[in-house]
């Protein structure tokens, strides 16, 4: 080809000379640097890979690809390239700094320390300062987390691991420590998601398998949990936590089942003993312990230990605030104990969780019971049952009225006279209501008697008394001072 033809093609002599691998590699590297500058990391990665293929012994190319992997969050590959770079060039300071960054991101504190030490030897005391500070912070956080774990302060551990993950976003260890503590706090769904993410990268990650087993155990899925613990122990026979938790899980299941069997056999005291034993096995298993406390409450109810049953339900609800069965039983216990306001609160909470007709009716009945409890108990005042007949009511009134009539206590102290006058008035009021079928029906249904204008609170006990004894002197009546019932009493009662 003539020189003039070469000029027409706008080519230089260099274009006609075949390029060496080194030259081509440099061109690829420059193209990669350009793409990296504009944050096209995937494109840059492809260019650096071509450079390495052309010149596999060039440390800088591995260093560049390491930086690219870092920007893509692929820290394991990044640290491998950084290690190759310094293996090729032991004086490659940037390679050690990148290695330190990757180790920190992966949570490898020992590897980070070694890389920082070497970078400092090559670049001086001011080299890798950011990495030094990050490493110091991570060490403090891990130490704090360790102390918190020993103190069973799982919330603090989660906080520390979240801070660690700001420095070490790819630390599997930090993620799984956090997941374990989330499970301990009852946040099993979050814990399982973290464990599942780890298992997608490594299906034999024993810590992730252990966390999944722990979550299943805390969700009362015994058989599935056992399989996970067994798998962990096949892969790591000395896994201390898996051994301990597996033993607890089996013992807890055994005691719970023994308690249930004793309950079915009607052996209430034995069942109570077994449930109490089971509750001491693992304080962290909130769901199972909530069920155990409810079972304990059921046994206490069978033993007529109403207060103890209510307390056991409270313990269950502290572990599971939406435990409907425990809420219902505690409400019934409060009703039996006469703590009607607490019963209404529980029925309101129950209806809020489960808006059924049955729960609405229970709430309505509880409110009536509360209203009744705030009124005078006329049946109690007369000393009769709620099923008392008209004759029973008359007999009871006759007896109580004679006992509390002020004339009988004329010589008593002022305080005693006032107390007897009050009781006499209450007896008259009780008789005035219970002897009237309509008023009694309204009273029994918890309705306000003043709504019908009957003015129960204004009943004059003297009038009631005189009306009752109008037929003459009662043969059982015998005032010590010679008074006669129904003959012009004029006492004024407050």
Quick: pLDDT tens for 237-269.
999 999 999 999 999 999 999 999 999 999 999
> What pLDDT digit, counting tens, does each position of 121-144 carry?
999 989 999 999 999 999 999 999
With tokens 């936590």, the residue in question is 241
Residue 326 lies in a domain: yes
Pair (147, 84) in one structural domain:
no
Give yes or no: residues 26 and 89 share one domain: yes
pLDDT for 13: 54
Check which CATH number belongs to the domain holding 418 and give it: 1.10.287.110
* pLDDT in the model for residue 33: 96
Residue 421 lies in a domain: yes
CA-based radius of gyration for the chain:
42
Arithmetic mean of pLDDT over the chain = 89
* In a domain? residue 9: no
Boundary-marking domain end, from 132, 161, 191: 132
* Residue 41 belongs to a domain: yes
| Whether 408 and 425 share a structural domain | yes
Per the structure, the count of domains in the chain is 4
Residues 89 and 125 occupy one common structural domain? yes
Would you say residue 282 has pLDDT above 90? Answer: yes
Residues 88 and 56 grouped into a single domain: yes
Residues 209 and 165 in one domain: yes
Q: 151 and 192: one domain?
A: yes
Q: Cα dist. 135→7, 110, 141, 155 in Å?
A: 60, 10, 10, 23
Task: Write down which residue in 132, 167, 183 finishes a domain.
Answer: 132
Q: State the pLDDT at residue 485.
A: 47
* Nearest-angstrom CA–CA distance, 98 and 102: 6
Task: Identify which of 62-76, 394-408, 418-432 has the greatest average pLDDT.
Answer: 62-76
d(C-alpha 406, C-alpha 234), whole Å: 88
Long-range contacts of 482-487 (CB under 8 A, 24+ apart): 483/407, 485/402, 485/405
- Between CA 135 and CA 120 the distance in angstroms is 14
Q: Is residue 204 part of a domain?
A: yes
Residues 125 and 154 in one domain: no
Asked if residue 49 and residue 123 are part of one domain, the reply reads: yes
> Domain end: 81, 106, 132, which one?
132
Does residue 250 fall inside a structural domain?
no
Q: Which CATH number do you get for residue 157? A: 1.25.40.10
Residue 253 lies in a domain: no
CA neighbor of 210 nearest in space, from 222, 220, 225: 225
Specify whether 74 is located in the same domain as 171.
no
107 in the same domain as 195:
no
339 and 427 in a single domain? The answer is: no
User: What is the extent of the structural domain holding 341?
Assistant: 285-374
Determine which of 121-130, 299-308, 388-397, 469-478 has the lowest per-residue pLDDT on average. 469-478
């Amino acid at each position: 080809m003539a020189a003039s033809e070469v000029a027409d093609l706008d080519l230089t002599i260099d274009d006609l000379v075949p390029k060496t691998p080194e030259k081509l590699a440099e061109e690829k590297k420059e193209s990669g640097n350009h793409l990296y500058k504009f944050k096209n990391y995937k494109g840059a990665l492809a260019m650096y890979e071509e450079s390495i293929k052309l010149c596999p012994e060039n440390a800088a190319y591995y260093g560049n690809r390491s930086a690219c992997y870092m920007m893509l969050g692929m820290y394991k590959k990044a640290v491998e390239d950084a290690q190759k770079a310094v293996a090729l060039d032991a004086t490659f300071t940037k390679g050690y700094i990148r290695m330190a960054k990757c180790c920190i991101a992966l949570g490898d504190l020992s590897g980070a320390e070694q890389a920082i030490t070497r970078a400092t030897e090559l670049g001086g005391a001011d080299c890798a300062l950011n990495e030094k500070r990050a490493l110091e912070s991570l060490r403090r956080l891990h130490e704090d987390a360790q102390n918190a774990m020993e103190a069973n302060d799982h919330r603090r551990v989660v906080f520390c691991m979240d801070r660690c993950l700001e420095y070490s976003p790819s630390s599997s260890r930090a993620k799984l420590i956090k997941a374990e503590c989330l499970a301990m706090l009852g946040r099993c769904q979050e814990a399982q998601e973290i464990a599942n993410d780890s298992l997608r990268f490594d299906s034999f990650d024993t810590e992730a398998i252990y966390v999944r087993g722990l979550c299943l155990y805390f969700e009362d899925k015994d058989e599935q949990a056992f399989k996970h613990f067994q798998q962990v122990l096949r892969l790591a026979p000395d896994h201390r936590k898996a051994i301990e938790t597996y033993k607890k899980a089996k013992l807890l299941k055994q005691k719970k089942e023994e308690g249930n069997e004793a309950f079915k056999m009607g052996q209430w005291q034995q069942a109570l003993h077994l449930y109490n034993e089971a509750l001491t096995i693992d304080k962290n298993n909130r769901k199972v312990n909530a069920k155990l406390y409810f079972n304990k409450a059921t046994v206490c109810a069978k033993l007529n230990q109403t207060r103890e049953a209510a307390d056991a339900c409270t313990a269950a609800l502290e572990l599971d605030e939406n435990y409907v069965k425990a809420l219902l039983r505690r409400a019934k216990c409060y009703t039996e104990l006469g703590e009607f306001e607490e019963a209404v609160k529980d029925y309101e909470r129950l209806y809020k969780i489960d808006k059924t007709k049955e729960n609405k009716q229970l709430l309505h009945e509880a409110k009536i019971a509360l209203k009744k409890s705030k009124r005078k108990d006329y049946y109690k005042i007369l000393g009769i049952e709620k099923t008392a007949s008209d004759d029973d009511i008359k007999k009871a009134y006759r007896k109580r009225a004679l006992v509390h009539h002020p004339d009988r206590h004329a010589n008593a102290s002022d305080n005693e006279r006032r107390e007897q006058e009050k009781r006499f008035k209450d007896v008259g009021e009780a008789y005035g209501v219970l002897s009237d079928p309509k008023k009694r029906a309204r009273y029994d249904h918890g309705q306000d008697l003043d709504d019908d204008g009957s003015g129960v609170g204004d009943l004059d006990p003297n009038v009631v008394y005189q009306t009752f004894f109008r037929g003459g002197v009662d043969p059982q009546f015998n005032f010590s001072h010679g008074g006669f019932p129904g003959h012009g009493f004029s006492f004024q009662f407050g």
